[in-house]
Amino acid sequence: MGPTARSRSGPARLQTGRNGKVAAADDGVPPELHAERNACVRQLARERDARKKLQAQLTQVKQQLAAANAELDRALAQSAKLGDPKAKLASIKDECAMLRDALLQRDAQLSLAADEYKALEQRAVALEGGQALHPTEAAKRTAVAKVAQQRIKSDKKSIDQLVRQEQSLADAVAELRTKLESATTPSTSPKKAAGEHTDHHDGDGGVDGGESVVAVQAEHERRRKAAIEALQHELARADRDLERRREALEAAEERRRQQAGSQFARAEQERAAALQDHTQTKSQLAAQTAKAESLRKGLATLTRDVQSAKEAEDRCEVERQALDRRARELQSEVDAALKKSLAQSAADEAGTEAWKREKAELESGVKVAERRAKSVEADLARVREEVKRLEAEIAGASTPKEDSAAAAGTSAEVAALTKAEDADNAAATALEDEAAAINAEAERIEARNALSQRDSIIEQQKTKLASLRAETKTGEQENADLRKRLEKKEALLAQHGLSVDA
């Protein structure tokens, strides 16, 4: 009854365990199919592990490429800070020209400021002590000093002349005063003069002598008064002249004082203006120095930026070479995997075609076997019915001879039926074997489907690898552009006598 029950269950599916292997051969499947199935499962596991390794490698390559792209983006950002190469080159040229002009202007201003400072010092010393000034200022000062000296000399001459005139007038006044005093105080008295005159005219008579004395005294008095009046007029005139001379001297002294004050005020103004110019020059010089220092710092910063950009470009170049090597390795691995997969796919396609044919044949055989099984089951049912009938007849009343003959006939029929049942069991076993083969072929088809999925994954990996190559080429182009920019900037720095390592 077991084989018949097993034939009724139809084609059984292969059962696999947790480890992917086929279960024990208690389902009637041959060990060769189990071994083949286990080999296919192990091959699929190896291919799955290889695919995982490839995915891990691709992930690592993507991470490296992302890091390289990030570094390249940083380098491009640093280069973007520098601006457009042409515009930045023009701006660098302009800045270098401005720096050179500023340095030349600063040197000129330093020399000019030094000269002005010396001139200011000389001017200050000249204003205080009278030393030499700047040539042009000294010429001006010399001309002014000559005019002032000539005026001072003329003023001194006029003052000396006025002093001499005043002295002469004072001497004349003193002489007139002495004359006036001598005129106002006669040397002899009238009596003595009359006596002398009397003695001199002793023989003329008394009346003539007295009249002559009176006349002489009157004449003398008249002359004295006239002399006094003349001296008074002369003294008044001398006083008026002296007063005019004194006023003129005071006016000349006042003019000289005013001129000296105005000259001193002008000198003070010029000194203040010179000090202000000197202060402005010092402030301008400090501003120019600060500007030159800022330009120098900016140039140093630009040099450091160029150096850092060059270092970043070198690092990008090293990483690009490493990525190229890794991409070549991956390409070789992918090519080998593709070749193997293509060969396997070709073999699988050929096996698939043969399997399709075998499957069609097996399906037709299964149908035939099912029809044969149904007919065998129907025959077996008839045989069983006949056996039951015969057993019932045997169990009935009969003679021993008839019983023996019927038993012999029944034994023969039973043997024939047993043979038929054995044949049916063999046919069912054959059908189960065919079903097991069909199941194994179905498993192989599933394995081929997995391989086709692997082929699609490999195609995806090829696509990703192509995109990685394109990104690598883009990175190479960007590195080349960055290298060109750096070469231009280094050439520009070399034109101005600078270097990146400075």
Take residue 300 and report the two structure tokens written for it. Answer: 């140093």
pLDDT for res 3: 43
Cα separation, 179 vs 199, in Å, equals: 30
pLDDT for res 127: 57
pLDDT for res 491: 72
Amino acid identity, position 443: E
Cα separation, 236 vs 230, in Å, equals: 10
Cα separation, 12 vs 4, in Å, equals: 14
% of the chain residues with pLDDT over 90: 0
Q: Which of 56-60, 62-66, 496-500 has the lowest mean pLDDT?
A: 496-500
- Asked whether the whole model's pTM tops 0.75, one would answer no
Res. 362: pLDDT tops 60 = yes
Res. 87: pLDDT tops 70 = no
Mean of the per-residue pLDDT values for the chain? 67
Res. 401: pLDDT tops 60 = no
Q: Pick the residue with more confidence: 358 or 311?
A: 311
pLDDT for res 496: 62
pLDDT for res 81: 63
Rounded to 5 degrees, φ, ψ at 22 are -75, 145
Q: How much is the average pLDDT of 324-335? A: 76
Res. 258: pLDDT tops 80 = yes
pLDDT for res 159: 63
Number of CB atoms found within 10 A of residue 378's CB:
10
Q: How much is the average pLDDT of 110-138? A: 60
% of the chain residues with pLDDT over 70: 45
Res. 7: pLDDT tops 70 = no
pLDDT single digits (tens) 463-481: 766 777 777 777 677 767 7
Res. 6: pLDDT tops 70 = no
pLDDT for res 44: 76
Res. 11: pLDDT tops 60 = no
Res. 17: pLDDT tops 60 = no
Q: How much is the average pLDDT of 294-307? A: 74
Q: Pick the residue with more confidence: 426 or 97?
A: 426
pLDDT for res 397: 47
Q: Which helix (DSSP H) or strand (DSSP E) does residue 52 occupy?
A: helix 31-82
Query: pLDDT category, 299, cuts 50, 70, 90?
Result: confident
pLDDT for res 10: 41
Query: pLDDT category, 29, cuts 50, 70, 90?
Result: low
Q: How much is the average pLDDT of 280-302? A: 76
Query: pLDDT category, 431, cuts 50, 70, 90?
Result: low
Q: Pick the residue with more confidence: 270 or 428?
A: 270
Which residues does 12 contact at the CB level (< 8 Å), separation at least 6? 27, 28, 432, 435, 436, 439
Q: How much is the average pLDDT of 65-94? A: 64
Q: How much is the average pLDDT of 301-305? A: 74
Q: Pick the residue with more confidence: 9 or 102?
A: 102
Res. 276: pLDDT tops 80 = yes
Q: Pick the residue with more confidence: 436 or 159?
A: 436
Q: Pick the residue with more confidence: 255 or 76?
A: 255
Amino acid identity, position 327: A
Query: pLDDT category, 501, cuts 50, 70, 90?
Result: low
pLDDT single digits (tens) 201-244: 444 444 455 566 677 777 777 877 777 777 678 777 767 877 78
Take residue 317 and report the two structure tokens written for it. Answer: 């170049």
Q: Which of 29-43, 83-97, 255-269 has the lowest mean pLDDT?
A: 83-97
DSSP per-residue string spanning 302-331? HHHHHHHHHHHHHHHHHHHHHHHHHHHHHH
Q: Which of 184-198, 375-389, 420-434 has the lowest mean pLDDT?
A: 184-198
pLDDT for res 451: 64
Cβ–Cβ < 8 Å for 436, 12: yes
pLDDT for res 332: 78
Q: How much is the average pLDDT of 76-90? A: 59
Q: Which of 74-78, 89-93, 344-348 has the lowest mean pLDDT?
A: 89-93
Q: How far is CA 2 from each of CA 6, 236, 388, 422, 436, rounded to the nearest angstrom?
A: 6, 187, 20, 12, 18
Q: How much is the average pLDDT of 273-302? A: 77
